[in-house]
Amino acid sequence: MVCRHFGVCGGCAHQDMADAEYRMLKRKLVVDALSRHGVAATVSDVVEVPPGTRRRASLKAKKGDGGALLGFHAAQSHNIVDMLECLVLSPALSVLVPRLREMLTSLLRPRETTNLHLTETATGVDLSFRWSRQNDSVTLAELARWATKLGLARVSAHNETVIELVRPSVRFGRADVLVPLDAFLQPTCEGEAILQTFVRDALSGAKRVADLFAGCGTFTLPLAEASRVHAVEIEASMLDALAGAARTTSGLKPVTTEKRNLFHRPLGESELAQFDAVVLDPPRAGALAQVQMLARSKIKRVAYVSCDAGSFARDARVMIDGGLRLGNVVPIDQFLWSSHIELAASFERA
């Protein structure tokens, strides 16, 4: 099935490919990246999440003569494709789109534009605005009115909460995490579960784990069901959410937290010596400074989750040269029909 916007919308580039050909393309992204860095590895078949599961989306909107346009940018253009369907978004987000268009038609001024960030959580949709206007009293009152009308969990603008009817939350393992504003979450619950299982299996039996680029605790909290975990993250709001969930969840091993910029101040050899294993899930740029320290350390096991095959391959080369052996690499397609691929991999030191 091909979306009616395919070929115009910039969101999906490969929706018209046969399934087998498409999976080969996605796997080749990983194989080619590893090859460019001289990394020999077994790359598994691609694990795909189902269509209609994306719980996060960044949409563009503009007030036109006939009302608001709402959707993704057209391919290689800043024109907005007015979204009438999307085979990627979750049902909750898809159903919300026409209602948001109604809201924006009422709310936006002529020719005014805005970016909307939508996140489906366990307690409702979290909506964040980015626009040029100030948060004046009239705007805030209108946003609050529409949030109530649409049944949104929370609405924020310019990183300021306008109204919170229900605190957005997600569950990691047995822990419920109260989601801070603009927090990073995996694109899909299905992909998140695959990654969590991979990381737990890769680090099974480790007594003390360092979770680097920990976010809100995607891996920290499930791992803490069996291991002591030290979570390191630069964003204080996400670290506070993680720590709060750890405190209020029974049956977890001790969880400690540290606010730290791992790009500028990675954990050094003496610090890493405290741990049996490390999990890291860095941004798209990878974690070169940190993996250089991992390569020099005596750390025995590493689980690496990456949303960019190129930066992963570079980092893998560093760790392999430092004596860590790369196991299977598993491509995980959370970015359906795009040119992006996520992956998970494990390393062990002999």
Neighbours of 49 (CB within 10 A): 23
Candidate list 9, 12, 86, 307, residue with the active-site label: 307
Q: Which amino acid is at 169?
A: S
Which residue's entry shows tokens 């964040």?
128
Phi and psi at residue 193, to the nearest 5°: -65, -40
Those residues with Cβ within 8 angstroms of residue 331's Cβ, 6 or more apart along the chain or in another chain: 26, 27, 29, 30, 43, 44, 45, 46, 47, 341, 342, 343
- Count the helix, strand and coil residues of the chain and give each as a percent rounded to the nearest 5: 30, 30, 40
DSSP line for 154-168: EEEETTEEEEESS--
Tokens of 160: 């300021």
Distance of CA 77 to the CA centre of its chain: 25
State the amino acid at position 280 in one-letter form: L
Residue 85, helix vs strand vs coil:
coil
Distance of alpha carbon 70 from alpha carbon 53, whole angstroms: 20
Rounded distance, CA 304 to CA 322, Å?
Answer: 15
Amino acid identity, position 308: D
What are the residue ranges of helices labelled H in the chain?
19-36, 91-107, 137-150, 189-202, 220-223, 236-247, 269-272, 288-296, 309-321
Contact 333, 26 (CB under 8 A): yes
307 is catalytic: yes
Q: Give the whole-angstrom CA distance, residue 332 versus residue 287.
A: 19
Q: Which residues are catalytic?
A: 307
